[in-house]
Amino acid sequence: MKFKIKDKCNICKKFFFTHNSIDLPRLPITEIFLRSPNYKKKILFDQKINYCQSCHHMQLQNQYDTSHFYNKDYLTSSTNSYSGRYTNDIFYEFIKSNIDQNKKYNILEIGANDLYLIKKMKKFIRSGCTIDPCIKPDSSLKKIKYIKKFLENTSINEIDFIPDIVVCSHTLEHIEDPKKFIKMLTSFGDDKTKYFFQFPSCESLLDRRAFDQIHHQHFNFFSINSISKLLKKIKFDVKEYDIGELHYGSLMIYFKKSKDNIKNKNVQKFNGKLSDIYYDYKMYMKNLIQIIKKYQKRGSKVYGIGAGLMLPLVNYHLNNLLKDFDGILDDDKNKLNKFYPNLSTKISSLKNADLSNAVAVICSTASSVTTRKLVEVCRLKNAKIIIIPSMTL
């Protein structure tokens, strides 16, 4: 498959140093479930992640057209997962803390997905508009206009108001040219418009060594430093920000057109080598692989707990060990009796599973809030050993 090579930082346009680059050969695509175990060649693509020490930005080097990855087997939704709801609940609280909660507003949401966030904000809506090519209108939401398009194909004339608030949750990381995207989006507003974004935090990913969160769909990983630099180029400033560590380490920002400087919250910048911390992560995973194999030799059953969308990445960093597991356990009805591409291990019911003499390997590590929940489930089921293939919980 053809792809674009991005060998310069999207923010400062500098080349990356070798020690701040990591090769991820034959990295699998994610978020696909199959009705039968099939081997698929076209799900493994070479990838490379680069980190810019100048502006503390991280990005994929090989940027594929991810629309070619997905079909009817693709599954993702804000409310399909506990962690997806949780992160939007936290983002909603962040938004509320930066607006007058006694007023109503014209609200524009980009990447509305399944409308979970706009529904939470309905008491603040005077008029609303959502832009998303996959959106499904909801008749219970009043005063909302639905535009089933990508932002770049949307005209300013299609929006019936100047927005007071613009909301964009977990969309910016998927955008090839974030500067162009933000510049177009801010053209819909005026000097008073407040913009609220959330996306995976570069700081959090590096501090937690969360390399299982790097995949083909997320082109950019912003730090507060890199997003601030980008916004200043188009004459916007971050007014407030916070990091929600429990789902992708989400960086939440509120920005608007202003001359004020960013508030200093003393976020520590990563000044080490990307190759060094990736080595730490690889050694940690290597030890876990050895532990799992020892228990398999003893005759213990081994189960993957949590059929998360990113499980193929956990399997990738465990050197494809899940192919030898006795099962993958979950209670999402949309996933039961299905398979991941190239894994013959079927997804079965967690509720009905006996873990009393088994090793439980938590596989939904992209979300700490889900991981903690699954650890408690395994504890109550008296699992012999609980293994977490993540360096933080």
Helix 224-233, helix 178-186: angle, nearest 10: 60
Amino acid, single-letter form, for residue 111: G
Tokens representing 356 are: 């009393």
- To the nearest whole number, what is the mean pLDDT of the chain? 91
Where do the structural domains in the chain lie, given as residue ranges? Answer: 1-272, 298-387
pLDDT category of residue 214 using cuts at 50, 70 and 90: very high
- Predicted TM-score (pTM) of the model is 0.92
Mean pLDDT is lowest, of 129-133, 234-238, 255-259, 306-310, for 255-259
Residue in the block written with tokens 């090769």 = 23
Nearest of 93, 99, 30, 16 to residue 60 by alpha carbon = 16
Is 178 a residue whose pLDDT tops 90? yes
Mean pLDDT, residues 115-130: 94
Is 263 a residue whose pLDDT tops 80? no
Query: Identical fold at 1-272 and 298-387?
Result: yes
Residue in the block written with tokens 């876990």 = 288
* Percent of the chain residues topping a pLDDT of 70: 93
pLDDT at 95: 98
| Burial class for 375, CB neighbours closer than 10 Å (0-12, 13-18, 19+) | middle
The residue that leads in pLDDT, 67 or 53, is: 53
Is 73 a residue whose pLDDT tops 60? no
| Burial class for 389, CB neighbours closer than 10 Å (0-12, 13-18, 19+) | buried
Question: Is 113 in contact with 75 (CB distance < 8 Å)?
Answer: no
Radius of gyration of the CA atoms of the chain, in A: 21
Question: Is 260 in contact with 239 (CB distance < 8 Å)?
Answer: yes
pLDDT category of residue 381 using cuts at 50, 70 and 90: very high
Question: Is 12 in contact with 52 (CB distance < 8 Å)?
Answer: yes
Residue in the block written with tokens 């418009």 = 193
pLDDT digits (tens, 9 = 90+) for 7-51: 999 999 999 999 999 999 999 999 889 998 876 767 899 999 999
pLDDT at 161: 96
According to DSSP, the residues that pair with 327 across neighbouring strands are 303
Amino acid, single-letter form, for residue 234: I
User: Residue 198 in 3-state DSSP?
Assistant: strand
Mean pLDDT is lowest, of 20-34, 122-136, 247-261, 282-296, for 247-261
The DSSP-derived string for 18-87 is GGGEEEEEEEEP-SB-BSS----GGGEEEEEEEEETTTTEEEESEEE-GGGT-STTB---TTTSHHHHHH
Is 70 a residue whose pLDDT tops 70? no
Nearest of 162, 165, 169, 119 to residue 143 by alpha carbon = 119
Dihedral of the alpha carbons of 90, 331, 299, 282, in degrees to the nearest 10: -30
pLDDT digits (tens, 9 = 90+) for 84-122: 788 899 999 999 999 999 999 999 999 988 899 999 999
Q: Of the CATH numbers 3.30.70.20, 1.10.150.80, 3.40.50.720, 3.10.620.30, which one belongs to the domain with range 298-387?
A: 3.40.50.720
248 Ramachandran zone, left/alpha/beta (phi>0; psi -120 to 50): left
Mean pLDDT, residues 227-248: 92
Is 253 a residue whose pLDDT tops 90? yes
pLDDT at 43: 85
Tokens representing 331 are: 């209670």
pLDDT at 78: 47
Is 171 a residue whose pLDDT tops 50? yes
Mean pLDDT, residues 154-158: 93
**Which helix (H) or strand (E) element contains residue 146?**
strand 144-147
Domain 1-272 classification at class level: alpha beta
pLDDT digits (tens, 9 = 90+) for 318-361: 999 999 999 999 999 999 999 999 899 999 999 999 999 999 99
**Largest distance between two CA atoms of the chain:** 67
What CA–CA distance (Å, rounded) separates 273 from 284?
17
